Amino acid sequence: MSYVEYKEAAQVAYVKLNRPDSRNAFNPSMIDEITKIFLDLGKRIDLRAVVLHGEGKVFCAGADLHWMKEMVDYTLDQNKTDSLKLFAMFEAIAKCPLAVIGLVQGAAFGGALGLVACSDYVIAESQAQFCFSEVKLGIVPAVISSFVNLKVPAGKVRHFMMSGTVFSSQQAMEAGLVNEIVAASDFTTSLEFILKVYKECGPEAVRETKNLLNDLPNLTWADQRKRTSQLIAERRVSVEGQEGLKSFLEKRRPSWRRS
Tens-digit pLDDT profile for residues 32-81: 999 999 999 999 999 999 999 999 999 999 888 777 777 778 899 988 99
In degrees to the nearest 10, what's the CA dihedral of 217, 221, 222, 225? 80
pLDDT(192) > 90? yes
pLDDT(183) > 70? yes
Q: Residue 154 has what pLDDT? A: 85
Instruction: Give the CA count within 13 Å in the CB-facing half-sphere of 81.
Output: 7
Predicted structure pTM score: 0.95
Contact 96, 41 (CB under 8 A): yes
